[in-house]
Structure 1
Amino acid sequence: MTFVPILGDTLYTIAGMFWKILWALVLGFAISGAVQAFVPKRRMVQVMGDDSAASLFRAGFFGAISSSCSYAAAAMSRSVFMRGAHITASIAFMIAATNLVIELGFVLWSLMGWQFVVAEFAGGVLLIIVMALLMKLVGPVRAFDHVREAQTDDDTDEDVAVPSPLSLDGWRQAAANFMMDWSMIWKDIAIGVIVAGAMVVWVPDAFWQALFLSGGHGGDVSLLQMIENALVGPLVAVVSFVCSVGNVPLAAALFNGGISFGGALAFIYGDLIVIPMLLVYRQYYGTRLAAMLGVILYIAMAVTGFVVDLIFSVGGWAPDSSTVDVGSMEFFSLDYTFWLNLIFIGVGLGLWALSRQANAQSHCAHHH
């Protein structure tokens, strides 16, 4: 019987992938929680009021310093839209909040290498540009405006006072944000790591090579494969049900299996069109606009994945799939990952303790 050793390999790979990205997750969410606590959100709507380049840049910046959870990003995007931001700027905010956040870069670096970090952030900017062009050319901007006019948003609360970074209360709030991000996203990360580990061990390379028109590890990527993989990558993501950070282990498994560099990027971008997200868009904007938004995002993701793949391949920067061999990674050793995990496990426990203090204060204040 080979089931027991295969199961052992699967559990080892799952545990190893989680260990590999643990410090990056804690660091990224800690920075995200601090930014949410200490960076004021006042005037966000006023500086995102149109679809100009400057407005889209500001929307991208605000998104990049906000939550990386796809569902939270969609909710915040709708909130700023309902308050008066342009729909294109609101979508740019959502894209940046899932694809230009620092924790995603850390996880990509630790699991897939620096090329993916550079390509992810450069591609994220290109994704916003392509989306904006599609919205200007064929986007139902007026229909979105009609939705806003017909609805009354209940998220009209004023921004609360921003605490000082030198205050303990401020860091309690940052810690509470840190734990909130974890609570929203841990299931997606767990699903992503478990599915990725199972795929690495159980799915034969021949399947991926057929699906992605791949010739195997180390082979040159043809123009046809670049195009096909960029088109297929987001579609695979649609049925994966996993958010952007949770998508990274899956992307590593797919890249290891033979998907092209750009196809893997397009897959990571596809977290915004997974089926649960499409249902969220439907709830917010209606069936027709949700479908049109999904199509526009899909086209933008495929175009971005292909263009980035082409540029990196011509420049000689695209990594070979054999460099991300998840199945043969040495996960547990006394290397920088071990020491960083020890440090950031301590940081995470400290933030958890501070968040409990914040919750206790909030509970007391509520009863007074």
Structure 2
Amino acid sequence: MSTPHRLTRDDARRLVVRAQLLDADRPGDVVEVAEQLGYIKIDPTATIAPCEQTVLWSRIGWSYEPGQLTKAVEFDRLLFEFEGAFRPASLLPLMLPGMRRWPQRESSRQWLDANARFRADVLARLRAEGPLLTSAIPDTAQVSRAPDGWYGTNQVPHMLEFLMRQGEVAVARREGRNRIWDLAERVYPQNLPEYDEVETARLLDERRLQAAGIVKQKSPWTPVGEAGEPATVEGSKWKFRVDPAALASLGQEEGGRVALLNPYDGILFDRPRLSEIFEFDYVLEQFKPKPQRKYGYFAHPILMGDRFVGMLDAQVDRKRDVLQIDAIHEFLPFEEEESEMVRAEISDLAEWLGVTVTGLP
């Protein structure tokens, strides 16, 4: 067993920030971001802009335009949509074995078996007519799943989701927020490399660690198995795994910057790591009653360098074409230079959105 790397908290934070492409060395395009992060979450909540757009803007900056994402997904097929996220096509061969094994849950298998004719109907219609909106596919289910708060009584969305997870159908494109479905063979690249289950698991662990930089060795939030190398972090009792490529780049830092992060940004996903390394106990207040909110309905964390320094409570008013700043919550009072940096980033955000800023203190 190799001797663990001994890292400071500063080292650990910088590894995460750099792995998440939030240091001063900005990536060049959408595909580069997706390849490094592994996924770009899709979420329609748009107090400022939808998650997939703000994730990319917070990395690439002023040169990012939403049409670049559309091109990469729908025309170049360098990204694909799967389970609420855009993912790089390079991950598809590693995901296919898991798709072929799905579903594991007995109730899902029973529903599919009971709806064999319905499944065949959906695939036949897509083969003959696709790409199609969900609403263009008739519900011929023999057995229905009960409404669950996300889906109503129509069984077509359930079947399409199941078939996507099995690798039979795929999202070909979107019209607004609506997905257009087609057979996976007409959407996904063909003649992909094949991997056995052991190699697939190893490569997926490596990709997750690549996006994380450093992670707790047995984290249920970011499972990486034995990928990377062992490490300890000063002041932490955790055992970590660290990406050796990220470790080698520690001395090549370009410096820090300010980033305004969507609440569903991937760097915020692993809450225990966020608390342990960054000492940031993040709580999404979107689903809290208004009187219980401290920072706002959908406040965006503010990252400065390798520390979380505050929360931005803001919203775009398209009727007035303004970015309304309701509050900038400072965890510790900003110094003048820090305040100027945050204001500059907010101004850049407004310019990217094509609106003016109002309410900026």
Q: What range describes the TM-score normalised by the shorter chain of this pair?
A: under 0.3
Larger radius of gyration: 2
Q: Which has the higher strand share?
A: 2
After TM superposition, the score normalised by the length of structure 2 is 0.24
Higher helix share: 1
Q: TM-score, normalization: structure 1?
A: 0.24
Larger RCO (CA within 8 A; separation ≥ 6): 1
